[in-house]
Amino acid sequence: MPDYVLYEQRGAVAYVTLNRPERMNALGHEVRKGLIDAFCKVRYDPSVRVAVITGAGDRAFCAGGDLKEHKELFAKKSYRVGPDYGALDEPPNSSTIVIETYKPVIAAVNGYALAGGCELALACDIRIASENASFGLTEVKVGRGANFASVMLQYVIPRGLAMEMLFTGNHISAQEALRVGLVNRVVPLPELLPTASGLAEQIAKNAPVSLRRIKELSVKSLGSPLFFALKMAPGPSPYETSDAREGAGAFAEKRPASWKGE
């Protein structure tokens, strides 16, 4: 069986590549499984501090669910309504496994990021797009739900623009995505991975307990009242760690810090 998701670690950065370019890196069963496996590695390997996710080829980051595969599955069973995707007892999916990985994740979006592919990019903390990228939540055009994006997109861009994307299924260009704040920056395609790698390496130099605390608090406080969020304090506290002492010492001694992650 081909490796539909590639995993490579360079230093403290893990690179996760959707590797199905002939299907525009669509999220078939094996791709979803590969993503979950890859991000389990990112989660639990202490030597990984940052992850970068991208798609193979230059046409698509990810074109969403594999509708050809879904058609084959639908032919084997009758239609039904419910239970809903996103229920509390649902297992992790390719978007939630990313957002609930409490390490920084950068999306290097090369080409189309549509439907579940756009949701996958939304699950990342930082999005860098190539000039040929475009974004769309096309689920309404094929009778699907955009469960993750229906919640998450309005936290990233103004709600009116989010609802327009969700209700129409229309694409927006990389430049429009930059204008509305959906992506952090737009670069020429040959510069995409070097830009994402440079940023990932810069982030990876920082204290891992601090990175985890920031990511976990950011995710878990989404939608919470301000003062509740400020008192939430999830995950490990960085303030009394050996890394906090190392950081202070390195600053005073004008040397690079040597982090232990504890």
Residue among 185, 167, 166 at smallest CA distance from 175: 185
Say which of 22, 69, 119, 262 is annotated catalytic.
Answer: 119
Residue among 186, 131, 135 at smallest CA distance from 156: 135
Contact 54, 60 (CB under 8 A): no
Say which of 8, 30, 90, 139 is annotated catalytic.
Answer: 139
Active site residue 119: yes
Contact 23, 69 (CB under 8 A): no
Contact 32, 70 (CB under 8 A): no
152: Cβ contacts below 8 Å, ≥ 6 apart:
99, 119, 122, 123
Contact 107, 61 (CB under 8 A): yes
Q: Which stretches within 116-191 are classed as H helix?
A: 116-123, 147-156, 159-168, 174-180
The radius of gyration of the chain from alpha carbons, rounded to an integer in Å, stands at: 19
- Whether the ω angle into residue 234 lies within 30 degrees of 0, i.e. cis, is no
Active site residue 246: no
Q: Could you give the 3-state DSSP secondary structure of residue 59?
A: coil
Contact 50, 12 (CB under 8 A): yes
| 53 backbone dihedrals φ, ψ, rounded to 5° | -120, 135
Catalytic residues: 119, 139
